[in-house]
Amino acid sequence: MTTKIESLLQKYSRPGPRYTSYPTVPVWSDRFGATDYQTALRELSETPDAQDLCLYVHLPFCAMACHYCGCNNAVTSKTEVVDAYLDRVAREINLVVDLLGRGRRVVQMHWGGGTPNTLTARQMERLVQLLGDAFDLDWRGEMSIEIDPRIASLAQLQHIRSLGFRRISLGVQDVDPQVQQAIGRHQPEALTKSIYAACRDVGFESINLDLVYGLPLQTSETFRQTVQAVLAMQPDRVALFNYAHVPKLRPKQRHIRTEDLPDVLTRFALFDEARQRLTSHDYVWVGMDHFARQGDELAVAVQERRLHRNFMGYTLRPASNLIAFGMSGISELTGFYAQNDAKLGRYQTTLDQGELPIARGHRLTPDDQRRRAAISHLMCNMELPLATLGEAFDAHAAHFQDMEADGLVDYTADRLVVTAVGRPFVRNICMTLDAYLKPGTSQPVFSKTL
């Protein structure tokens, strides 16, 4: 690793938002509640029906716990617990469509978690029926689901495909047995390959594999073998996520020994070597941490500058409004963000009382909207027209000049361009535009509690 990169890592290596939203969740207010969300839904109901929607459904249940996981989830094997949760999701759907109106067209839907394939075939059918009764689901769109290969089967995959899902994402993380033991996730490589092959056999049009770098006991050699195993399967997309070790927020991570985690330099090398191997095998680097095979819709969107970013990550996003159902789900409507309660008990109790379970949210100001557009453009296109922020850009000029001196960005006549060296630091570049961060830190200026 060059001295230049080491110097940049020392200067810029600090936690930062993934910017699936701006402003980011920590600065949202718990004074934003159900009434505000109702207002946003009513405003959306007055827009033309031609304004399509995205749906996200959070299914928090897992068959087993993984030490590294940062998701809002719960471990259960009881079908009655899932049934009770779906009862509440049904109530939430009804409360939403009572305000929004039934039959709005949905062109993108994603089931995440947790582990959506912990649901039985009957439970999946029920959820599809609930959503289909409330919305006009266009199954020709981006309809995707996440699964855990360890509990999948050929019969289950055939059923999921028969429901209409076209895209599927498999959690892999790492194939090395020692790393798997350290993160509490035993998943033999042969099992992953067999489930991947089954996904191909039943006709999924797009398969994504999730990898995580920065996990305990990972080395350049072991992660190189993981990437090689993934390349051998030839998935359509690969997500390469950075492990965030936050045991105070995610108690399960206390099982992971801090001394087993790779240092900053090793972590960067893990990503950079994986990036080089993927891009040398016909994968396009999408945004910050995704890769798509040449010809994949996501790769084409990059080339045609049609890439978007929302709470589901990088997407074609043909719809501008995202409605989420389930605990901790985040909705993004024009001018509003709203998040459901992340505590399962409170989420369910609130719905039992006939109320929407909104815990916090945010109404965007005109300045928020300008900065959101600028940050999204940077995250998707690795460049920023200087006119995007107008006069507000002048306040950040000194920071960008410093980054230009470090080789992270270049100025042209009318735009700021992220360099090849700067691309791994794109979050740091976006943080410069974040009005809610304390200067020089990753901490929000203010934070509201739930």
DSSP, residue by residue, 95-123: HHHHHH-TTEEEEEEEEEES-GGGS-HHH
d(CA 288, CA 425): 9
pLDDT value for 165 = 98
- Residue 289 tokens, joined: 């941490």
- The whole-angstrom distance between residue 52's C-alpha and the CA centroid of its chain comes to 21
Q: Please spell the DSSP secondary structure of 19-49, one letter per residue.
A: -SSSS-GGG-BTT--HHHHHHHHHHHHTS-T
d(CA 159, CA 125): 9
The residues spanned by each domain of the chain are: 1-23+364-437, 28-333
d(CA 315, CA 237): 12
pLDDT value for 440 = 55
Question: Is cis: bond before 114, omega within 30 of 0?
Answer: yes
pLDDT value for 138 = 95
353, 305, 347: which is closest to 326 by C-alpha?
Answer: 347
pLDDT value for 316 = 84
Question: Is cis: bond before 23, omega within 30 of 0?
Answer: yes
What CATH topology corresponds to 28-333? TIM Barrel (3.20.20)
- Residue 315 tokens, joined: 């997407």
- Number of helical H runs and strand E runs in the chain: 14, 19
Beta-carbon contacts of residue 298 (< 8 Å; ≥ 6 apart): 237, 284, 286, 290, 292, 307, 314, 315, 316
Beta-carbon contacts of residue 122 (< 8 Å; ≥ 6 apart): none
Asked if 322 and 56 touch (Cβ cutoff 8 Å), the reply is: yes
- Please state, in angstroms and as integers, the Cα–Cα distance from residue 160 to each residue in 117, 125, 342, following that order: 9, 9, 27
d(CA 275, CA 268): 10
Which strand ranges, in their side-by-side order, compose the sheet holding 415-418? 383-385, 415-418, 409-411
Alpha-carbon Rg for the chain in angstroms:
22
Q: Provide the residue-wise pLDDT of the chain in tens; the chain has 450 residues.
A: 578 889 999 999 888 898 999 999 999 999 999 999 999 999 999 987 778 999 999 999 999 999 999 888 889 989 999 999 999 999 999 999 999 999 999 999 999 999 999 999 999 999 999 999 999 999 999 999 999 999 999 999 999 999 999 999 999 999 999 999 999 999 999 999 999 999 999 999 999 999 999 999 999 999 999 999 999 999 999 999 999 999 998 899 999 999 999 999 999 999 999 999 999 999 999 999 999 999 999 999 999 999 998 888 898 876 789 999 999 999 999 889 999 999 999 999 999 999 999 999 999 999 999 999 999 999 999 999 988 877 777 788 888 899 999 999 998 878 899 999 999 999 999 999 999 987 555 554 333 221
70-86: b or e for each residue (b if 16 or more CB lie within 10 Å)?
Answer: ebbbeeeeeeeebeebb
pLDDT value for 207 = 98
pLDDT value for 311 = 86
Asked if 331 and 37 touch (Cβ cutoff 8 Å), the reply is: yes
d(CA 328, CA 7): 38
pLDDT value for 449 = 25
CATH classification code of 1-23+364-437: 1.10.10.920
